[in-house]
A and B are shown apart, each in its own frame.
Chain A
């Protein structure tokens, strides 16, 4: 494409069907404690 460059896999929808295993870290357990940022957690499915 000449005008648009896509940067990533844009795969969020694919993760919905098989997601929700619950193995990833609770989001407030890292360094926040006064805010909430979920998207910076790692997926730990099957980990």
Chain B
């Protein structure tokens, strides 16, 4: 099929689903139309009609087939099926943007030794250290200076474990808030924590100041405690679960939170972990595949794909069952708004790493994102030295989907937007080369997400 138009047809849970890639149009079709779409190619002229009817008339009547063909042509004429790819021209607008989001590595140290940690158990291979307040203030000043006309500035306190340096977190928040009015900006803070050091005071501060909080936990106790262990090897589940419950119960509903887990080869039945977290009282859940060297025993490999696909299907059933019983559980990777998602320009540009989003280390070093930290060739500059390499920034600005050969011909391109540049580099050796394993999982999740949203839309119409 030409890349100038693209549809993606898939069957899931009794639905025949057709996605028109370039308009985002989602259609459900009957069996006959599904088969016709599988056997059709443009142009939709008399020859095409004749050919496809000839091919399928052993199974269906000519009248039915003609009816279907005419409906397909109608959607084509309406521009919502086999629509043209006319986005590449917008890719030229992918230039260096203001920096509006920052991952602040407030602590390159951690009180856990999670076995799958991409940060080398917290220090990113750079030695254990905490960020001082001067560096934190310099990070705020950098963001204020580089954010141009962007009003909303995002700052994620990340680690290591941010609660190991919480006094500095509080001071940075105070400093940033003191600048909001003067600069006409709004800071949105997020903190990602393993929960061990949560106390009532910290919970209150987080719930007051952080627009989002990410609470790390892998699900069932035995699953969590296999990977998320302390220095002495003991598990962390019992020390955090009640703290997370307390934080969430006290949190204003208008603010975001996620309990966020990682699944590995050891728990490919991860739908049980999602449900466990739901049953613990959490309704905002993210459980994601581990990223790691294939040689590690916990690593997900090609051989696990069938089981993973099956597990997402099971998760769809379990989440649907919760809904039918009047419950609610939002699974992060099934979140999708088929009518009002982000604009096409955002989807073209991708995650924004190295361009509108950067990470800073305790030493003030600047990297394209948290996952690039410690990779010398991607170091963009330093806050104290007031250096910022625009060549690297411009390079990342160009990492849009039309710069990625695998992505521009992929039906999922407007949903994942070219994937994770860091995973591309770490596992495929090139920021422009899609990480195949991630893509496979992403596509499956998207099919499930589209199905869940179809169900939602159909319910609305009842």
**What is the CB-to-nearest-CB distance from A13 to chain B, in angstroms, rounded to a whole number?**
6
User: B28: CB under 8 A from chain A?
Assistant: yes
Partner of B28, one of A5, A19, A28: A5
Q: Given A4-B33, A30-B212, do A37 and B343 touch, yes or no (CB 8 Å)?
A: no
Could you tell me if A8 and B25 are in contact, using CB atoms closer than 8 angstroms? Answer: yes
Q: Which chain B residues border A42 with CB–CB below 8 Å? A: 337, 340-342
**What is the CB-to-nearest-CB distance from A42 to chain B, in angstroms, rounded to a whole number?**
7
Hey, what's the 0/1 contact readout for B2-36 against A, CB within 8 Å counting as 1?
00000000000000001010111111111011000
Could you tell me if A43 and B340 are in contact, using CB atoms closer than 8 angstroms? Answer: yes
Partner of A26, one of B345, B357, B438: B357
**What is the CB-to-nearest-CB distance from A20 to chain B, in angstroms, rounded to a whole number?**
3
Could you tell me if A12 and B333 are in contact, using CB atoms closer than 8 angstroms? Answer: no
User: B144: CB under 8 A from chain A?
Assistant: no
Main secondary structure of the interface of A (DSSP, over half): loop
Q: Which chain A residues border B231 with CB–CB below 8 Å? A: none
State which of B94-102, B129-137, B383-391 sits at the interface with chain A.
B94-102
Could you tell me if A40 and B351 are in contact, using CB atoms closer than 8 angstroms? Answer: no
**What is the CB-to-nearest-CB distance from B97 to chain A, in angstroms, rounded to a whole number?**
6
CA distance A39 to B414 in the complex (A): 7
Most buried by B among A5, A8, A21: A8
Could you tell me if B345 and A20 are in contact, using CB atoms closer than 8 angstroms? Answer: yes
Q: Which chain A residues border B290 with CB–CB below 8 Å? A: 34
CA distance A15 to B251 in the complex (A): 34
Could you tell me if B26 and A7 are in contact, using CB atoms closer than 8 angstroms? Answer: yes
CA distance A41 to B352 in the complex (A): 13
Q: Which chain A residues border B416 with CB–CB below 8 Å? A: 36-39
User: B369: CB under 8 A from chain A?
Assistant: yes
Could you tell me if B71 and A4 are in contact, using CB atoms closer than 8 angstroms? Answer: yes
CA distance A23 to B149 in the complex (A): 10
**What is the CB-to-nearest-CB distance from B289 to chain A, in angstroms, rounded to a whole number?**
8
User: B336: CB under 8 A from chain A?
Assistant: yes
Could you tell me if B67 and A3 are in contact, using CB atoms closer than 8 angstroms? Answer: yes
Q: Given A2-B71, A4-B33, A26-B351, do A35 and B438 touch, yes or no (CB 8 Å)?
A: yes
Could you tell me if A12 and B28 are in contact, using CB atoms closer than 8 angstroms? Answer: no
Q: Using a CB–CB distance below 8 Å, which chain A residues touch chain B?
A: 1-13, 15-16, 18-45, 47
7 CB contacts below 8 A, A to B, read A2-B71, A9-B338, A10-B24, A16-B343, A28-B352, A31-B286, A33-B370
Top-6 shortest CB links A-B: A19-B343, A10-B25, A20-B345, A26-B101, A12-B24, A19-B345
